[in-house]
Amino acid sequence: MNTHLAPLPGLHTHPPQPESAPEIRTPVRRVGPLDRAAMYLGVALIRWSRRPARAAARRERPGFNAEELERRRETDHNLALAMIPFR
């Protein structure tokens, strides 16, 4: 049952293609110096826009700061006291 038969000529399951389709050949457009310069400019702009940020511009996540923690607790406590009359 491993025998494969070649299909008969002219019998296909797909729609027939036109037999006399004229081949339209278009001339190949050569890349000129202006096109090449535009491509390099585009690539340079993409690279420039994706450059990494400066180390000084990045803000590192602040570490544990006791004074900041105490200030937040005071603020939260004061807000809680201010909300007591609204209960």
* Element counts in the chain: helices (H) and strands (E): 2, 0
Check residue 85 and give its pLDDT: 74
Q: pTM (2 decimals)?
A: 0.33
Q: How far apart are CA 77 and CA 83, in angstroms?
A: 10
> pLDDT per residue over 26-78, tens digit each?
888 888 999 999 999 999 999 988 877 665 555 666 667 888 888 888 998 88
